[in-house]
Structure 1
């Protein structure tokens, strides 16, 4: 027995019989194949080795450059340090010479140079301590202590001279001479040490560069040999590459899945066909799009979708003439280029032939699928006067065929007006949603028999600036096609919950039901947004009912079920809307966490129209009660229907027999007050 998914897909209108795949490559003999593989392996190995060799050369160059730079930096540092030690040596020597002059001088002017030079080497020692190597910093700190004592001795000598104590002056001069000699020796040792270290660094750098030079010569010789080997192998490989050129060109111009032409080849052939078109002749272009192909992918998997696309390509190819071109543009969209079409009538006949060839049953993954599609037709030179117009007009015609359920449609100039109008409506609707320019009306839902109001359904309206107040049937399909449903649903939820809170504050308890778009059930963040709105408006989750249709959850039942379960976990009531119009509703009734079942108005309308209408509605009510669901009957439009539905035992009723959808202020005036503690 077919599964629920299979039953759903029977109506998908999406192809079975043969499968079209690219022609298999010409087989190669064992020796030829081995030789080709061996040449390719040698070429790859040689190229890899050459790349490694070049990389090594580059690495050695970088290593040599960095090594030289490091050596130069080290040598420069040693030279700078040596200059500081030279300054220390020189300044100590100058201080000592000025000491000698001080002892010989017989005037204050002759003694002044010594006084000014005392401590002159201190800045150099501080620089060495801060910037020198560890050894230099250590030596500088040690020398600072000695130099500090030397400077102190000189100052003591100057003070003794001022007092006229000649004996102390001579004693201090002798001590200063010994200190100056020791300081100069230490400075000389450090100058020599830095020179030796710089020489060692330079020697090491020269040795390293010599080794690098030898390695470069060896690697260069190997690289030259590899270049010669690669050249020989590439010449041998050239013949094989040329043989593969045609196959590569074929792959570049054909769809890899179906084997038919791709978009690039189609554009090329369109230009060529229009250039070759003789006066009085014409070129037709068909654009074909499968109906509800996404349901096959989502329900049976992408492998099944691929098999379906292959079969569609096979059917179109069989229907095409030898000089026609079948192409896949991407996804489930195909095109057929047909030269030699003298008039529009012939183009439509050809389009009808391809449409008939496309449609028909196919078994995919054990499921019978009825394939159907929409075909748009355009023709050159009229009404399409260029290649761009031919493609654009065929696309417009295909959209009109799909939107109107026509099967096929031939482009007429007036169609552009409708398309432009649609684009304008899309832009206006998007702006209206973003600005919150939509309004919400509310239709009462009443209790059976007593007909007391027990809740309302929120129904969105669009006050269009030029077209008046639009009902959902006039703009919700456009919202669905342009990904506006999530934003539209959020807007209606916000308005409905805010109105419910306002009614509660006024002492009127009217639980509210909101239609939730199918896109919301594929959005894992939707339950969180619902919870945020409930919290913002201080509404208990049980006062909100989310109405869903089975078609909204069918494309991805797994993701939708997770969202429904999360909503149910919040405490939001769930209702399946338009029940009785789908193909797998029974299965969903058992698997979805529902609270309520709403019988579609089209089923209710059969009560007075057919003999079995009452029995069908009664059976659906009994089914809902058997599944412990509350049953709401929509479309109760008159007193006679109301009486029948009351007798059948439905829990709630809704329809024009009670009230049309009303603005909030009119609804309050219409309804009777309901205590806030009333049960929904």
Structure 2
């Protein structure tokens, strides 16, 4: 359904609650006026109604007078409330500040008595009394400063109009003056005590000092404080009562004027305009029906987006005016929905909608197409550099920090864009090329890509990889590479981490970064992990049969296998089939498990592993969402410091401080600490000095196939046999 031509220019202007905002009032007015004219003509063709016109002019004059009167009454009401609230605020400030001064006075009393008591003790050293004296001096300064502030507040209160209209409270003023004098006398005495030397206080004030200050802070002073606070509070309530009374009178007059104006001026006219009013209601109902708004985000929905896209292509055909389109897809949105539930997902969608709405122009069409997909139409924008800058800015604003239910959620988006007529001249081609650009962006995540031929080629290649992944596990194309873990001091072999590779039949060995982002389905992850576990189990059996000591082999288990018993059953099956022991395996999990909605089931699975004496590592520590509560309650054996921190050791003091804190934390928790990504001697030596004893990285060994791992184990075995303290061996040295 298309909008009437007169309203198309205002179609895309919407509020977040879904109501349509008309940006061209004159167009709307003309449309309704024409409707009313047709009604009058249909009622009495060719006839005029001079009596009605004269009545309307009379109503207009009286209506202006009524509006002026009501405006004045409303203005008077507003001024009265503002003055009363100002008086109330000042009196509340006086009451609050007087209470604070009273509390500080009591603190000073206790501090002064404590100083005199301490001074009377000949065994009390000066370094204990001196800070007490400084605190008391600060209290004296605070009380005097509060007295000055109270004087300023009272001066402001005296200038208030309602305060001038009320009778002057002589009693309270006299009480305040008397209290000020008593308080200053007390402060003078206190200052004299504090200014005296320790020996003077010890000789002169040990007997009569406490008595003197008991008199200075007697009940009269405290009663005066209490009376002043009560007086300020009562006068504050009086301000509200005055405002309520005066406002009620003025509002009653306003309501009376409104009722009289309505009854006298408009009631007769309402009957005459009933038909026109009904037609207006019908028109607004039809307009509302045509407004297509997404209920969750308040943005345009897919239907509206399609209509505006058709309009833009029609404009292109008429005048040659081009435009651009951006497609937005949220990264890892399914993970947020699965781990935290749909309320968190809905909150993220509303956050993204606000960010996008605030980024683009009011004339741009921002729509939610469904799920976590958004789209933006940018009229008259065909410059590719400008389009890319806008897309990158949208990526940046979406990735700003977003908190929900006390958690900081990782929100980011991938954006693909295309321009008309540069990249396409019809709707089908535009959607295809924009989608190709989006797919290229999603391969990198949190970035924007404007369509080009390279995007098309990359999309075709990714499609081919996804198709081949469906059969990779059945064809045994997943292979395992092993990276050695060593003792950082001696270079002694301690174990391996198993890392998956894809032996593609045409492209050869592919690293995990090339294919893991394509494995969005849990079926792919399950089948791949099953291949890895059984391959590791067979290799372990062969190594142990050959008399080698491989140590434990760590395997990264995805969350989908930890929620429930699948991961446990998979390891148990591999151990039973190959006659291995549980300690031959280790499990590595990332901090993301703490955000998973099934974290309790994951905890149960991890506990079952540890009950079998199987080591559990917290991988990539410092890059996820682990809190101290998680570290306290989660049953892990070692922390693995992420390579992003290790890489800057020796060149970045901040990274060094963080690594020291991680090692200290692990030691305090009684856990082992393993450093990843060690590539040079500087990093190794720093980690040793810090207290980290285990590491892995290119300095010792790259990830290598099982055949190379056998050679490394054999060398390690010979070195162990010849010496109880093997020399550190650098990667590549045989």
Measured against the shorter chain, the TM-score band is 0.5 to 0.7
2:470 to 412, 430, 448: 430
2:614 to 555, 559, 572: 572
1:267 to 295, 298, 306: 306
Corresponding position of 1:535:
576
Residue 607 of structure 2 aligns to a residue whose secondary structure is helix
* Cα distance, 1:431 vs structure 2: 2.3
Corresponding position of 1:604:
646
Cα distance in 2, alignment partners of residues 670 and 352 from structure 1 = 47
Cα distance in 2, alignment partners of residues 377 and 659 from structure 1 = 43
The answer as to whether partners of 1:396 and 1:419 remain within 8 angstroms in 2 is yes
Corresponding position of 2:432:
392
The answer as to whether partners of 2:321 and 2:380 remain within 8 angstroms in 1 is yes
2:495 to 447, 451, 455: 455
Change (3 A) 1:418 1:523: farther
Gaps of 5+ in 1: 1-17, 25-238
Corresponding position of 1:55:
none
Corresponding position of 2:509:
469
From the CA coordinates, give the structure whose radius of gyration is larger: 1
Report whether the alignment pairs 1:286 with 2:326. yes
2:717 to 656, 673, 678: 673
Residue 258 of structure 1 aligns to a residue whose secondary structure is coil
The answer as to whether partners of 1:599 and 1:631 remain within 8 angstroms in 2 is yes
* Cα distance, 1:648 vs structure 2: 3.3
Change (3 A) 1:580 1:260: closer
2:18 to 10, 18, 22: 22
Cα distance in 1, alignment partners of residues 397 and 685 from structure 2 = 51
* Cα distance, 1:631 vs structure 2: 1.8
Structure with greater contact order relative to length (CA < 8 Å, sep ≥ 6) = 1
Change (3 A) 1:667 1:387: same
Residue 637 of structure 1 aligns to a residue whose secondary structure is coil
Cα distance in 2, alignment partners of residues 593 and 551 from structure 1 = 15
Change (3 A) 1:22 1:501: same
Cα distance in 2, alignment partners of residues 394 and 262 from structure 1 = 18
Cα distance in 2, alignment partners of residues 479 and 300 from structure 1 = 21
The answer as to whether partners of 2:562 and 2:568 remain within 8 angstroms in 1 is no
The answer as to whether partners of 1:550 and 1:585 remain within 8 angstroms in 2 is no
Change (3 A) 1:246 1:486: farther
Residue 435 of structure 1 aligns to a residue whose secondary structure is coil
Change (3 A) 1:543 1:574: same
2:295 to 252, 256, 267: 256
Change (3 A) 1:650 1:320: closer
Alignment of 1:146-157 (within 5 A): none
Cα distance in 1, alignment partners of residues 398 and 704 from structure 2 = 47
The answer as to whether partners of 2:324 and 2:382 remain within 8 angstroms in 1 is no
Change (3 A) 1:344 1:669: closer
The answer as to whether partners of 1:19 and 1:311 remain within 8 angstroms in 2 is no
Cα distance in 2, alignment partners of residues 437 and 317 from structure 1 = 46
Give the structure-2-normalised TM-score: 0.54
Change (3 A) 1:553 1:392: farther
The answer as to whether partners of 2:413 and 2:446 remain within 8 angstroms in 1 is no
* Cα distance, 1:574 vs structure 2: 0.8
Cα distance in 2, alignment partners of residues 358 and 473 from structure 1 = 24
Change (3 A) 1:585 1:427: farther
Q: Which deviates the most, 492-501 or 301-310?
A: 301-310
Change (3 A) 1:658 1:282: same
Question: Which string of whole-angstrom CA distances, capped at 9 and with x for unpartnered residues, describes residues 73-116 of structure 1?
Answer: xxxxxxxxxxxxxxxxxxxxxxxxxxxxxxxxxxxxxxxxxxxx
Residue 414 of structure 1 aligns to a residue whose secondary structure is helix
* Cα distance, 1:584 vs structure 2: 2.9
The answer as to whether partners of 1:20 and 1:311 remain within 8 angstroms in 2 is no
* Cα distance, 1:418 vs structure 2: 0.8
Change (3 A) 1:269 1:644: closer
Cα distance in 2, alignment partners of residues 436 and 601 from structure 1 = 30
Report whether the alignment pairs 1:411 with 2:451. yes
Change (3 A) 1:359 1:441: closer
Change (3 A) 1:342 1:498: closer
Change (3 A) 1:248 1:529: farther
Cα distance in 2, alignment partners of residues 473 and 620 from structure 1 = 27
Cα distance in 1, alignment partners of residues 343 and 516 from structure 2 = 32
The answer as to whether partners of 2:595 and 2:625 remain within 8 angstroms in 1 is no
Corresponding position of 1:445:
485
Alignment of 1:375-386 (within 5 A): 375-386=415-426
2:699 to 657, 669, 673: 657
Corresponding position of 1:648:
690
Report whether the alignment pairs 1:485 with 2:514. no
Q: Which deviates the most, 454-463 or 288-297?
A: 288-297
Cα distance in 2, alignment partners of residues 615 and 322 from structure 1 = 47
Change (3 A) 1:652 1:259: closer
The answer as to whether partners of 1:21 and 1:310 remain within 8 angstroms in 2 is no
* Cα distance, 1:494 vs structure 2: 1.0
Give the structure-1-normalised TM-score: 0.58
Cα distance in 1, alignment partners of residues 698 and 482 from structure 2 = 12
Change (3 A) 1:607 1:383: same
Cα distance in 2, alignment partners of residues 647 and 523 from structure 1 = 41
Cα distance in 1, alignment partners of residues 545 and 339 from structure 2 = 46
Alignment of 1:500-539 (within 5 A): 500-510=540-550, 511-522=552-563, 524-539=565-580
Cα distance in 1, alignment partners of residues 450 and 325 from structure 2 = 10
Change (3 A) 1:428 1:578: same
Alignment of 1:124-273 (within 5 A): 246=286, 249-250=289-290, 253-273=292-312
The answer as to whether partners of 2:382 and 2:420 remain within 8 angstroms in 1 is no
Q: Which deviates the most, 397-406 or 442-451?
A: 397-406
Cα distance in 1, alignment partners of residues 403 and 695 from structure 2 = 42
Count how many residue pairs are aligned between Structure 1 and Structure 2.
445
The answer as to whether partners of 2:413 and 2:445 remain within 8 angstroms in 1 is no
Corresponding position of 1:581:
623
